[in-house]
Structure 1
Protein backbone atom coordinates (compact mmCIF):
# COMPACT_ATOMS: atom_id res chain seq x y z
CA UNK A 1 0.00 0.00 0.00
CA UNK A 2 2.82 2.41 0.83
CA UNK A 3 5.39 1.63 -1.84
CA UNK A 4 2.81 1.14 -4.59
CA UNK A 5 1.68 4.70 -3.81
CA UNK A 6 5.06 6.21 -3.03
CA UNK A 7 4.37 9.47 -4.85
CA UNK A 8 1.17 10.28 -2.97
CA UNK A 9 2.75 9.02 0.26
CA UNK A 10 5.62 11.48 -0.07
CA UNK A 11 3.28 14.27 -1.14
CA UNK A 12 1.11 13.69 1.91
CA UNK A 13 3.86 13.17 4.48
CA UNK A 14 7.00 14.74 3.00
CA UNK A 15 6.90 18.31 4.35
CA UNK A 16 5.26 17.29 7.62
CA UNK A 17 7.78 14.55 8.33
CA UNK A 18 10.63 16.89 7.35
CA UNK A 19 9.42 19.38 9.97
CA UNK A 20 9.49 16.63 12.59
CA UNK A 21 12.97 15.51 11.47
CA UNK A 22 14.42 19.01 11.79
CA UNK A 23 13.05 19.55 15.29
CA UNK A 24 13.98 16.05 16.44
CA UNK A 25 17.51 16.29 15.01
CA UNK A 26 18.05 19.62 16.75
CA UNK A 27 16.84 18.12 20.01
CA UNK A 28 19.04 15.03 19.77
CA UNK A 29 22.17 16.82 18.60
CA UNK A 30 21.94 19.37 21.42
CA UNK A 31 20.60 17.34 24.33
CA UNK A 32 21.35 13.64 23.77
CA UNK A 33 24.32 13.68 26.16
CA UNK A 34 22.37 15.66 28.77
CA UNK A 35 19.53 13.16 28.60
CA UNK A 36 21.93 10.24 28.99
CA UNK A 37 23.51 11.78 32.07
CA UNK A 38 20.07 12.63 33.48
CA UNK A 39 18.87 9.05 33.02
CA UNK A 40 21.98 7.68 34.72
CA UNK A 41 21.51 10.04 37.67
CA UNK A 42 17.84 9.15 38.04
CA UNK A 43 18.66 5.43 37.87
CA UNK A 44 21.12 6.01 40.70
CA UNK A 45 18.41 7.78 42.73
CA UNK A 46 19.79 11.28 42.22
CA UNK A 47 17.71 14.08 40.71
CA UNK A 48 19.72 17.20 39.80
CA UNK A 49 18.42 20.47 41.18
CA UNK A 50 18.78 22.24 37.85
CA UNK A 51 18.20 20.85 34.36
CA UNK A 52 20.25 21.96 31.33
CA UNK A 53 19.03 25.24 29.88
CA UNK A 54 16.37 24.75 27.22
CA UNK A 55 16.02 20.99 27.74
CA UNK A 56 12.40 20.95 28.90
CA UNK A 57 11.30 23.56 26.37
CA UNK A 58 12.94 21.77 23.44
CA UNK A 59 11.70 18.37 24.62
CA UNK A 60 8.14 19.72 24.78
CA UNK A 61 8.45 21.24 21.30
CA UNK A 62 9.79 17.96 19.94
CA UNK A 63 6.87 16.05 21.47
CA UNK A 64 4.22 18.46 20.18
CA UNK A 65 5.63 18.54 16.65
CA UNK A 66 5.99 14.75 16.59
CA UNK A 67 2.42 14.22 17.76
CA UNK A 68 0.89 16.89 15.50
CA UNK A 69 2.66 15.75 12.32
CA UNK A 70 1.92 12.05 12.92
CA UNK A 71 -1.80 12.70 13.47
CA UNK A 72 -1.91 15.07 10.51
CA UNK A 73 -0.31 12.46 8.25
CA UNK A 74 -2.56 9.70 9.59
CA UNK A 75 -5.77 11.58 8.76
CA UNK A 76 -4.53 12.41 5.25
CA UNK A 77 -3.33 8.87 4.54
CA UNK A 78 -6.61 7.32 5.68
CA UNK A 79 -8.46 9.71 3.37
CA UNK A 80 -6.16 8.96 0.45
CA UNK A 81 -6.52 5.19 0.71
CA UNK A 82 -10.26 5.15 1.44
CA UNK A 83 -11.38 8.18 -0.58
CA UNK A 84 -8.56 8.55 -3.14
CA UNK A 85 -8.09 12.12 -1.91
CA UNK A 86 -4.68 13.61 -2.73
CA UNK A 87 -3.68 17.06 -1.40
CA UNK A 88 -3.43 19.65 -4.18
CA UNK A 89 -1.42 22.18 -2.16
CA UNK A 90 2.27 22.13 -1.16
CA UNK A 91 1.27 22.11 2.50
CA UNK A 92 -1.38 19.41 2.99
CA UNK A 93 -4.75 20.60 4.32
CA UNK A 94 -5.27 20.50 8.06
CA UNK A 95 -8.58 18.91 8.97
CA UNK A 96 -8.51 20.48 12.40
CA UNK A 97 -11.79 19.01 13.66
CA UNK A 98 -10.78 15.51 12.65
CA UNK A 99 -7.31 16.00 14.08
CA UNK A 100 -8.72 17.07 17.45
CA UNK A 101 -11.03 14.04 17.48
CA UNK A 102 -8.13 11.81 16.47
CA UNK A 103 -6.06 13.21 19.33
CA UNK A 104 -8.90 12.65 21.79
CA UNK A 105 -9.31 9.01 20.76
CA UNK A 106 -5.53 8.56 20.85
CA UNK A 107 -5.41 9.78 24.44
CA UNK A 108 -8.33 7.55 25.43
CA UNK A 109 -6.75 4.48 23.86
CA UNK A 110 -3.34 5.28 25.33
CA UNK A 111 -4.82 5.54 28.83
CA UNK A 112 -6.71 2.26 28.46
CA UNK A 113 -3.64 0.46 27.16
CA UNK A 114 -1.45 1.98 29.87
CA UNK A 115 -3.73 0.71 32.64
CA UNK A 116 -4.11 -2.71 31.04
CA UNK A 117 -0.39 -2.89 30.22
CA UNK A 118 0.62 -2.06 33.78
CA UNK A 119 -1.68 -4.73 35.20
CA UNK A 120 -0.60 -7.32 32.64
CA UNK A 121 3.06 -6.51 33.16
CA UNK A 122 2.72 -7.08 36.90
CA UNK A 123 0.86 -10.35 36.28
CA UNK A 124 3.46 -11.61 33.81
CA UNK A 125 6.27 -10.67 36.18
CA UNK A 126 4.71 -12.74 38.95
CA UNK A 127 3.45 -15.63 36.79
CA UNK A 128 6.34 -16.31 34.43
CA UNK A 129 9.14 -14.03 35.63
CA UNK A 130 10.69 -16.62 37.98
CA UNK A 131 10.73 -19.24 35.21
CA UNK A 132 12.41 -16.94 32.68
CA UNK A 133 15.20 -15.86 35.01
CA UNK A 134 17.53 -13.26 33.54
CA UNK A 135 15.70 -13.31 30.19
CA UNK A 136 12.52 -12.00 31.83
CA UNK A 137 13.68 -8.40 31.41
CA UNK A 138 13.67 -8.93 27.64
CA UNK A 139 10.88 -11.48 27.14
CA UNK A 140 8.15 -9.84 29.23
CA UNK A 141 8.33 -6.42 27.51
CA UNK A 142 8.17 -8.15 24.11
CA UNK A 143 5.13 -10.19 25.14
CA UNK A 144 3.53 -7.07 26.54
CA UNK A 145 4.32 -5.12 23.38
CA UNK A 146 2.70 -7.82 21.23
CA UNK A 147 -0.46 -7.92 23.34
CA UNK A 148 -0.82 -4.14 23.29
CA UNK A 149 -0.33 -4.09 19.52
CA UNK A 150 -3.05 -6.71 19.17
CA UNK A 151 -5.42 -4.59 21.26
CA UNK A 152 -4.50 -1.49 19.27
CA UNK A 153 -5.38 -3.21 16.01
CA UNK A 154 -8.67 -4.55 17.39
CA UNK A 155 -9.69 -1.17 18.81
CA UNK A 156 -8.07 1.10 16.23
CA UNK A 157 -10.76 1.18 13.55
CA UNK A 158 -12.06 4.29 15.28
CA UNK A 159 -9.17 6.24 13.72
CA UNK A 160 -9.93 5.70 10.02
CA UNK A 161 -13.57 6.33 10.91
CA UNK A 162 -12.62 9.75 12.26
CA UNK A 163 -10.74 10.56 9.03
CA UNK A 164 -13.95 9.78 7.13
CA UNK A 165 -15.95 11.96 9.53
CA UNK A 166 -17.84 8.89 10.76
CA UNK A 167 -18.62 8.05 14.36
CA UNK A 168 -17.41 4.75 15.80
CA UNK A 169 -16.84 3.48 19.33
CA UNK A 170 -14.05 1.25 20.58
CA UNK A 171 -16.68 -1.40 21.31
CA UNK A 172 -17.85 -1.39 17.71
CA UNK A 173 -14.26 -1.66 16.46
CA UNK A 174 -13.67 -4.63 18.77
CA UNK A 175 -16.84 -6.39 17.59
CA UNK A 176 -16.17 -5.75 13.89
CA UNK A 177 -12.64 -7.20 14.08
CA UNK A 178 -13.67 -10.27 16.08
CA UNK A 179 -13.86 -12.57 13.01
CA UNK A 180 -10.24 -11.69 12.20
CA UNK A 181 -8.87 -11.96 15.75
CA UNK A 182 -6.57 -14.85 14.82
CA UNK A 183 -5.13 -13.07 11.78
CA UNK A 184 -4.68 -9.87 13.80
CA UNK A 185 -2.81 -11.84 16.49
CA UNK A 186 -0.46 -13.14 13.80
CA UNK A 187 -0.05 -9.60 12.51
CA UNK A 188 0.92 -8.41 16.00
CA UNK A 189 3.59 -11.14 16.23
CA UNK A 190 4.96 -10.12 12.81
CA UNK A 191 5.06 -6.49 13.95
CA UNK A 192 7.03 -7.43 17.08
CA UNK A 193 9.55 -9.40 15.02
CA UNK A 194 9.82 -6.48 12.59
CA UNK A 195 10.44 -4.07 15.49
CA UNK A 196 13.25 -6.30 16.78
CA UNK A 197 14.89 -6.60 13.37
CA UNK A 198 14.91 -2.89 12.60
CA UNK A 199 16.62 -2.18 15.94
CA UNK A 200 19.62 -4.39 15.14
CA UNK A 201 21.51 -1.87 12.93
CA UNK A 202 21.01 0.91 15.50
CA UNK A 203 22.27 -1.29 18.32
CA UNK A 204 25.48 -1.90 16.37
CA UNK A 205 26.21 1.83 16.57
CA UNK A 206 25.80 3.12 20.15
CA UNK A 207 25.91 6.80 19.15
CA UNK A 208 22.32 7.95 18.55
CA UNK A 209 23.52 11.26 17.11
CA UNK A 210 25.74 9.82 14.38
CA UNK A 211 24.69 10.78 10.86
CA UNK A 212 24.20 7.14 9.88
CA UNK A 213 22.00 6.45 12.90
CA UNK A 214 19.93 9.58 12.36
CA UNK A 215 19.32 8.85 8.68
CA UNK A 216 18.51 5.21 9.40
CA UNK A 217 16.14 6.04 12.26
CA UNK A 218 14.24 8.62 10.20
CA UNK A 219 13.89 6.38 7.13
CA UNK A 220 12.79 3.37 9.19
CA UNK A 221 10.58 5.59 11.35
CA UNK A 222 8.77 6.90 8.28
CA UNK A 223 8.22 3.39 6.92
CA UNK A 224 6.98 2.10 10.29
CA UNK A 225 4.60 5.04 10.66
CA UNK A 226 3.12 4.70 7.18
CA UNK A 227 2.79 0.91 7.45
CA UNK A 228 1.15 1.24 10.87
CA UNK A 229 -1.41 3.70 9.53
CA UNK A 230 -1.95 1.47 6.50
CA UNK A 231 -2.70 -1.54 8.70
CA UNK A 232 -5.58 0.28 10.41
CA UNK A 233 -6.79 1.61 7.05
CA UNK A 234 -6.76 -1.91 5.58
CA UNK A 235 -8.61 -3.38 8.55
CA UNK A 236 -11.22 -0.63 8.27
CA UNK A 237 -11.66 -1.16 4.54
CA UNK A 238 -12.12 -4.92 4.96
CA UNK A 239 -14.23 -5.13 8.11
CA UNK A 240 -16.28 -1.93 7.85
CA UNK A 241 -16.56 -1.25 4.11
CA UNK A 242 -16.38 -4.87 2.95
CA UNK A 243 -13.46 -4.32 0.60
CA UNK A 244 -11.13 -7.07 -0.62
CA UNK A 245 -7.60 -7.11 0.81
Structure 2
Protein backbone atom coordinates (compact mmCIF):
# COMPACT_ATOMS: atom_id res chain seq x y z
CA UNK A 1 0.00 0.00 0.00
CA UNK A 2 1.28 3.48 -0.86
CA UNK A 3 2.98 5.11 2.12
CA UNK A 4 1.30 8.46 1.50
CA UNK A 5 -2.15 6.84 1.58
CA UNK A 6 -1.23 4.96 4.76
CA UNK A 7 -0.17 8.23 6.36
CA UNK A 8 -3.39 9.97 5.37
CA UNK A 9 -5.59 7.10 6.56
CA UNK A 10 -3.74 6.83 9.87
CA UNK A 11 -3.91 10.59 10.53
CA UNK A 12 -7.64 10.73 9.76
CA UNK A 13 -8.34 7.68 11.93
CA UNK A 14 -6.22 9.17 14.69
CA UNK A 15 -8.51 12.22 14.80
CA UNK A 16 -11.96 10.81 14.06
CA UNK A 17 -11.35 7.58 15.95
CA UNK A 18 -10.62 9.64 19.07
CA UNK A 19 -12.93 12.56 18.39
CA UNK A 20 -14.40 12.64 21.90
CA UNK A 21 -11.01 12.83 23.56
CA UNK A 22 -9.81 15.25 20.88
CA UNK A 23 -12.70 17.56 21.73
CA UNK A 24 -11.97 17.38 25.46
CA UNK A 25 -8.29 18.10 24.88
CA UNK A 26 -8.46 20.81 22.24
CA UNK A 27 -11.92 22.06 21.22
CA UNK A 28 -12.47 24.60 23.99
CA UNK A 29 -8.93 25.92 23.59
CA UNK A 30 -9.26 26.06 19.80
CA UNK A 31 -12.58 27.90 19.98
CA UNK A 32 -11.56 30.31 22.75
CA UNK A 33 -10.00 32.94 20.41
CA UNK A 34 -13.08 32.91 18.14
CA UNK A 35 -15.42 33.25 21.10
CA UNK A 36 -13.30 36.08 22.48
CA UNK A 37 -13.39 37.89 19.12
CA UNK A 38 -17.14 37.35 18.82
CA UNK A 39 -17.78 38.80 22.27
CA UNK A 40 -15.41 41.75 22.06
CA UNK A 41 -15.73 42.70 18.37
CA UNK A 42 -19.28 41.81 17.36
CA UNK A 43 -19.31 44.18 14.37
CA UNK A 44 -16.11 42.65 13.03
CA UNK A 45 -17.69 39.19 13.11
CA UNK A 46 -21.01 40.19 11.58
CA UNK A 47 -19.98 43.07 9.34
CA UNK A 48 -22.00 45.48 11.46
CA UNK A 49 -25.57 46.60 10.88
CA UNK A 50 -26.30 47.16 7.25
CA UNK A 51 -22.72 46.51 6.18
CA UNK A 52 -22.45 45.44 2.53
CA UNK A 53 -18.96 45.60 0.97
CA UNK A 54 -20.41 45.09 -2.55
CA UNK A 55 -22.54 48.24 -2.26
CA UNK A 56 -20.65 51.43 -3.21
CA UNK A 57 -22.93 53.34 -0.84
CA UNK A 58 -22.35 50.92 2.02
CA UNK A 59 -21.56 52.14 5.47
CA UNK A 60 -17.93 52.48 6.44
CA UNK A 61 -16.05 49.52 7.82
CA UNK A 62 -17.04 48.69 11.39
CA UNK A 63 -14.78 50.08 14.10
CA UNK A 64 -12.33 47.60 15.53
CA UNK A 65 -10.75 47.71 18.97
CA UNK A 66 -7.20 46.79 17.97
CA UNK A 67 -6.07 46.35 21.57
CA UNK A 68 -8.65 43.60 21.98
CA UNK A 69 -7.60 42.14 18.62
CA UNK A 70 -4.00 42.01 19.88
CA UNK A 71 -5.13 40.34 23.09
CA UNK A 72 -7.11 37.88 20.98
CA UNK A 73 -4.03 37.14 18.86
CA UNK A 74 -1.95 36.41 21.95
CA UNK A 75 -4.76 34.26 23.30
CA UNK A 76 -4.82 32.38 19.98
CA UNK A 77 -1.09 31.57 20.18
CA UNK A 78 -1.30 30.41 23.80
CA UNK A 79 -4.42 28.33 23.15
CA UNK A 80 -2.98 26.79 19.98
CA UNK A 81 0.27 25.77 21.68
CA UNK A 82 -1.60 24.42 24.72
CA UNK A 83 -3.97 22.37 22.56
CA UNK A 84 -1.26 21.09 20.20
CA UNK A 85 0.97 19.90 23.05
CA UNK A 86 -1.98 18.15 24.70
CA UNK A 87 -2.91 16.40 21.45
CA UNK A 88 0.65 15.22 20.72
CA UNK A 89 1.01 13.92 24.27
CA UNK A 90 -2.31 12.08 24.05
CA UNK A 91 -1.29 10.28 20.86
CA UNK A 92 2.32 9.53 21.77
CA UNK A 93 2.08 9.10 25.55
CA UNK A 94 -1.61 8.19 25.96
CA UNK A 95 -2.04 11.16 28.27
CA UNK A 96 -5.79 11.68 28.67
CA UNK A 97 -7.64 14.80 29.73
CA UNK A 98 -8.64 14.83 33.40
CA UNK A 99 -10.94 17.84 33.14
CA UNK A 100 -12.62 20.20 30.66
CA UNK A 101 -9.19 21.35 29.47
CA UNK A 102 -5.82 19.57 29.50
CA UNK A 103 -3.20 20.17 32.16
CA UNK A 104 -0.92 23.16 31.60
CA UNK A 105 2.67 22.04 31.01
CA UNK A 106 4.78 25.17 31.13
CA UNK A 107 8.14 23.73 30.06
CA UNK A 108 6.69 21.65 27.24
CA UNK A 109 4.49 24.50 26.02
CA UNK A 110 7.42 26.92 26.12
CA UNK A 111 9.66 24.51 24.23
CA UNK A 112 6.90 23.91 21.69
CA UNK A 113 6.41 27.66 21.18
CA UNK A 114 10.13 28.17 20.51
CA UNK A 115 10.18 25.28 18.05
CA UNK A 116 7.06 26.63 16.33
CA UNK A 117 8.78 30.02 15.97
CA UNK A 118 11.81 28.35 14.41
CA UNK A 119 9.63 26.40 11.98
CA UNK A 120 7.72 29.60 11.19
CA UNK A 121 10.92 31.48 10.36
CA UNK A 122 12.00 28.66 8.06
CA UNK A 123 8.63 28.79 6.31
CA UNK A 124 8.89 32.58 5.89
CA UNK A 125 12.31 32.14 4.30
CA UNK A 126 11.01 29.37 2.04
CA UNK A 127 8.02 31.50 1.05
CA UNK A 128 10.23 34.45 0.13
CA UNK A 129 12.49 32.24 -1.98
CA UNK A 130 9.56 30.52 -3.72
CA UNK A 131 7.77 33.82 -4.31
CA UNK A 132 10.85 35.26 -6.03
CA UNK A 133 11.08 32.19 -8.28
CA UNK A 134 7.35 32.35 -9.06
CA UNK A 135 7.66 36.06 -9.88
CA UNK A 136 10.45 35.36 -12.36
CA UNK A 137 8.47 32.55 -13.99
CA UNK A 138 5.34 34.73 -14.29
CA UNK A 139 7.43 37.47 -15.91
CA UNK A 140 8.64 34.97 -18.52
CA UNK A 141 5.30 33.15 -18.90
CA UNK A 142 2.55 35.66 -18.05
CA UNK A 143 -1.00 34.45 -17.73
CA UNK A 144 -3.68 33.83 -15.11
CA UNK A 145 -3.46 30.05 -15.47
CA UNK A 146 0.29 30.01 -14.91
CA UNK A 147 -0.03 32.26 -11.88
CA UNK A 148 -2.83 30.13 -10.43
CA UNK A 149 -0.89 26.89 -10.82
CA UNK A 150 2.24 28.42 -9.32
CA UNK A 151 0.21 29.88 -6.45
CA UNK A 152 -1.21 26.45 -5.64
CA UNK A 153 2.31 25.05 -5.92
CA UNK A 154 3.50 27.67 -3.43
CA UNK A 155 0.93 26.59 -0.84
CA UNK A 156 1.80 22.91 -1.33
CA UNK A 157 5.52 23.67 -1.23
CA UNK A 158 5.28 25.61 2.03
CA UNK A 159 3.19 22.82 3.58
CA UNK A 160 5.73 20.25 2.39
CA UNK A 161 8.66 22.13 3.93
CA UNK A 162 6.66 22.62 7.14
CA UNK A 163 5.96 18.90 7.37
CA UNK A 164 9.60 18.00 6.67
CA UNK A 165 10.89 20.15 9.53
CA UNK A 166 7.76 19.90 11.68
CA UNK A 167 8.64 16.65 13.48
CA UNK A 168 10.42 18.85 16.01
CA UNK A 169 6.95 19.88 17.25
CA UNK A 170 5.71 16.49 18.53
CA UNK A 171 9.23 15.90 19.84
CA UNK A 172 9.08 19.15 21.83
CA UNK A 173 5.63 18.26 23.14
CA UNK A 174 6.92 15.06 24.76
CA UNK A 175 10.27 16.60 25.78
CA UNK A 176 12.26 14.43 23.36
CA UNK A 177 15.45 15.66 21.65
CA UNK A 178 15.16 16.24 17.90
CA UNK A 179 16.77 18.98 15.84
CA UNK A 180 15.35 20.59 12.72
CA UNK A 181 18.18 19.07 10.69
CA UNK A 182 17.35 15.62 12.05
CA UNK A 183 13.68 16.12 11.22
CA UNK A 184 14.58 17.04 7.64
CA UNK A 185 16.92 14.07 7.37
CA UNK A 186 14.56 11.45 8.79
CA UNK A 187 11.74 12.52 6.45
CA UNK A 188 14.02 12.41 3.40
CA UNK A 189 13.21 8.83 2.33
CA UNK A 190 9.46 9.59 2.29
CA UNK A 191 9.65 13.20 1.07
CA UNK A 192 7.73 12.41 -2.10
CA UNK A 193 5.06 10.25 -0.46
CA UNK A 194 4.05 12.90 2.08
CA UNK A 195 2.75 15.10 -0.75
CA UNK A 196 -0.45 13.04 -1.02
CA UNK A 197 -1.76 13.69 2.50
CA UNK A 198 -0.62 17.33 2.33
CA UNK A 199 -2.55 17.94 -0.90
CA UNK A 200 -5.67 16.04 0.21
CA UNK A 201 -5.88 17.78 3.60
CA UNK A 202 -5.46 21.22 2.03
CA UNK A 203 -7.95 20.46 -0.77
CA UNK A 204 -10.65 19.15 1.56
CA UNK A 205 -10.17 22.07 3.93
CA UNK A 206 -10.43 24.57 1.08
CA UNK A 207 -13.57 22.96 -0.35
CA UNK A 208 -15.26 22.90 3.06
CA UNK A 209 -14.41 26.57 3.61
CA UNK A 210 -15.97 27.48 0.27
CA UNK A 211 -19.04 25.41 1.13
CA UNK A 212 -19.44 27.40 4.35
CA UNK A 213 -19.43 30.66 2.38
CA UNK A 214 -22.05 29.33 -0.02
CA UNK A 215 -24.31 27.91 2.70
CA UNK A 216 -23.98 30.54 5.42
CA UNK A 217 -22.50 33.64 3.76
CA UNK A 218 -20.96 35.94 6.37
CA UNK A 219 -21.87 36.31 10.00
CA UNK A 220 -21.47 34.62 13.33
CA UNK A 221 -22.78 31.21 12.17
CA UNK A 222 -20.32 31.11 9.28
CA UNK A 223 -17.48 32.12 11.60
CA UNK A 224 -18.30 29.41 14.13
CA UNK A 225 -18.69 26.69 11.47
CA UNK A 226 -15.42 27.81 9.87
CA UNK A 227 -13.74 27.67 13.28
CA UNK A 228 -14.85 24.05 13.74
CA UNK A 229 -13.57 23.15 10.27
CA UNK A 230 -10.25 24.87 11.00
CA UNK A 231 -10.06 22.95 14.30
CA UNK A 232 -10.52 19.61 12.55
CA UNK A 233 -8.03 20.54 9.81
CA UNK A 234 -5.51 21.57 12.46
CA UNK A 235 -5.96 18.27 14.28
CA UNK A 236 -5.44 16.26 11.09
CA UNK A 237 -2.30 18.26 10.25
CA UNK A 238 -0.98 17.70 13.77
CA UNK A 239 -1.90 14.03 13.48
CA UNK A 240 0.08 13.82 10.24
CA UNK A 241 3.23 15.11 11.95
CA UNK A 242 2.59 12.93 15.00
CA UNK A 243 2.17 9.88 12.77
CA UNK A 244 5.39 10.66 10.92
CA UNK A 245 7.23 11.15 14.19
CA UNK A 246 5.90 7.91 15.65
CA UNK A 247 6.75 5.94 12.51
CA UNK A 248 10.07 7.45 11.45
CA UNK A 249 11.59 8.37 14.82
CA UNK A 250 10.03 5.93 17.28
CA UNK A 251 9.63 3.06 14.82
CA UNK A 252 5.89 2.57 15.31
CA UNK A 253 3.97 0.71 12.64
CA UNK A 254 1.22 2.29 10.56
CA UNK A 255 -1.98 0.30 11.08
Number of residue pairs aligned between Structure 1 and Structure 2: 232
- Work out whether residues 121 and 140 of structure 1, in 8 Å CA contact, stay in contact via their aligned partners in 2: no
Report the equivalent of 1:82.
92
150, 160, 176: which one pairs with 2:170? 160
Question: What CA deviation, in whole Å up to 9, does each residue of 1:144-183 have, x standing for no partner?
Answer: 1100100111101101111111121100001111111111
Alignment of 1:217 onto 2:198: no
Q: What are the ranges of 5 or more consecutive residues in structure 2 without an aligned counterpart?
A: 1-13, 54-60
Question: What is the Cα deviation at residue 124 of structure 1?
Answer: 1.1
Q: Which has the higher contact order (CA 8 A, sep 6+)?
A: 2
For the residues of structure 2 that align with 1:181 and 1:199, how far apart are their CA atoms? 28
For the residues of structure 2 that align with 1:123 and 1:227, how far apart are their CA atoms? 30
Alignment of 1:73 onto 2:83: yes
Question: What CA deviation, in whole Å up to 9, does each residue of 1:12-47 have, x standing for no partner?
Answer: 11332342231132356332548xx9x9xxxxxxxx
For the residues of structure 1 that align with 2:205 and 2:103, how far apart are their CA atoms? 31
Alignment of 1:184 onto 2:194: yes
**Any residues of structure 2 matched to 1:77-116 within 5 Å, and which?**
77-116=87-126
For the residues of structure 1 that align with 2:99 and 2:199, how far apart are their CA atoms? 38
User: What's the TM-score, normalizing by structure 1?
Assistant: 0.84
Q: 1:125 to 1:202 in 2, by over 3 A?
A: farther
User: What's the TM-score, normalizing by structure 2?
Assistant: 0.81
- Work out whether residues 98 and 163 of structure 1, in 8 Å CA contact, stay in contact via their aligned partners in 2: yes
Q: What are the ranges of 5 or more consecutive residues in structure 1 without an aligned counterpart?
A: 40-50
For the residues of structure 2 that align with 1:179 and 1:15, how far apart are their CA atoms? 37
171, 178, 181: which one pairs with 1:171? 181
For the residues of structure 1 that align with 2:177 and 2:17, how far apart are their CA atoms? 29
Q: Secondary structure at the match of 1:100?
A: helix
Question: What is the Cα deviation at residue 100 of structure 1?
Answer: 1.1
Q: Secondary structure at the match of 1:183?
A: coil
Q: Secondary structure at the match of 2:250?
A: coil
Report the equivalent of 2:44.
31
For the residues of structure 2 that align with 1:102 and 1:110, how far apart are their CA atoms? 12
- Work out whether residues 78 and 229 of structure 1, in 8 Å CA contact, stay in contact via their aligned partners in 2: yes
For the residues of structure 2 that align with 1:31 and 1:234, how far apart are their CA atoms? 38
Alignment of 1:62 onto 2:72: yes
- Work out whether residues 125 and 140 of structure 1, in 8 Å CA contact, stay in contact via their aligned partners in 2: no
Alignment of 1:4 onto 2:17: yes
Question: What CA deviation, in whole Å up to 9, does each residue of 1:85-137 have, x standing for no partner?
Answer: 10213332111111111111111111121122112112112114553512355
Q: CA RMSD in A?
A: 2.6
Runs of 4 or more consecutive aligned structure 1 residues displaced over 4 Å after TM superposition: 51-54
Larger helix fraction of residues: 1
